[in-house]
Amino acid sequence: MFDGNLTRFQLDGTVEHREGQQFVGGKGFAGDSFERVHRIEPHGFASSPVKGGIGVAMSARGNRDSAYVFGGENPSMRPDIAMGGAAIYDHTGNIVSVVQKDMRIVHSARVHIVAPEIILEGAVYLGGPGASRPVSAEGTVDSAGHTDASNFAAGVFAT
């Protein structure tokens, strides 16, 4: 029986980008070595696979010089997500996950959002989910007669 010229492919960490395409190196199921294999990714998604990632290599027309690799996920770096969830993650533990009704963005240093206009709709909790002290808009006078000089909006809560 023919296997369709497919083999399990383990990435060796070699990644080369050339003219908008990505080429990787690694070993097949029987330990056979592959160099400069074209790695295929869907439109709108770009990643640079890490050593130890696993994918599948397909040799076009049975020719090892015309091989393509699909996939390349390293099982030791895969985040634990619930059934039906999705995640974008990297090799350092940064993650954007969509699981059930929540979207989480986790990063070790900073999250930077850039746009000409940013719209937050709904209650905003500064300092964590336990924030409960409402902040007020600029010009609001409190019970002691002090006027707020900042410009927080109603519906924003701080700890």
For residue 1, is pLDDT > 80? no
Does residue 62 sit in helix, strand or coil?
helix
**Mean pLDDT in the chain?**
84
Q: Residue 92: left if φ>0, alpha if ψ -120 to 50, beta else—which one? A: alpha
pLDDT in tens, 71-109: 999 999 999 888 888 999 999 889 998 887 888 888 888
pLDDT for 149 equals 67
**Where exactly does CATH 2.40.50 map onto the chain?**
6-75
H and E: helices and strands count for the chain: 0, 11
What would be the CATH architecture of the domain defined by 6-75?
A: Beta Barrel (2.40)
pLDDT > 70 in the chain, percent: 87
Q: At residue 144, what is the residue type?
A: A
Report the pLDDT averaged over residues 26-53: 90
How far apart (Å, rounded) are the C-alpha atoms in residues 117 and 146? 31
Does residue 77 sit in helix, strand or coil?
helix
From the list 9, 84, 2, the residue with the least C-alpha distance to 40 is: 9
From the list 52, 41, 45, the residue with the least C-alpha distance to 74 is: 52
Report the pLDDT averaged over residues 19-31: 90
Highest mean pLDDT among 47-51, 56-60, 136-140: 47-51
pTM: 0.67
For residue 147, is pLDDT > 80? no
